[in-house]
Amino acid sequence: MAAQPFFMTSDNEDDSDVGIAVKTRARTKRPPLYKVLLLNDDYTPMEFVVQILEQFFGLTHAQAFEIMLTVHKKGVAVVGVFSHEIAETKVTQVMDFARRHQHPLQCTMEKE
């Protein structure tokens, strides 16, 4: 099989007018990211929130404590930013774990 030339000429023109074949590539778009949010409530113990942040988000105790305080004071905090599938999984894990321990903690996600 012969290789395709990188230049094209017309048979009825001389070689002084050379064109270049350009192949355009479609740019792939990055998938949207989603913020995982923890919402404050008056019943879930602060220690439980810290445990969730360490266990499901891999935060250090100090990082988890800071985010827990933000949730407590402001009512909501961003815990992390992930692809849709990972954010959805984290929300489900947190909600299931909170329900199993009979806490009303709410965890949601929204597009960044």
Q: For 71-88, what is each residue's pLDDT tens digit? A: 999 999 999 999 999 999
Residue 3 has pLDDT above 80, yes or no: no
Q: For 4-20, what is each residue's pLDDT tens digit? A: 555 555 555 555 667 77
Of 28, 51, 27, whose CA–CA distance to 38 is shortest?
51
pTM metric for this prediction? 0.74
Write down the H helix ranges in 22-60.
Answer: 46-57
CATH class of 43-111: alpha beta
Q: Is 49 helix (H, G, I), strand (E, B) or coil?
A: helix
Q: Locate tokens 């969730």: which residue? A: 52
Are 67 and 79 contacting, i.e. CB atoms less than 8 angstroms apart?
Answer: yes
Residue 42 and residue 40: Cα distance in Å, rounded? Answer: 7
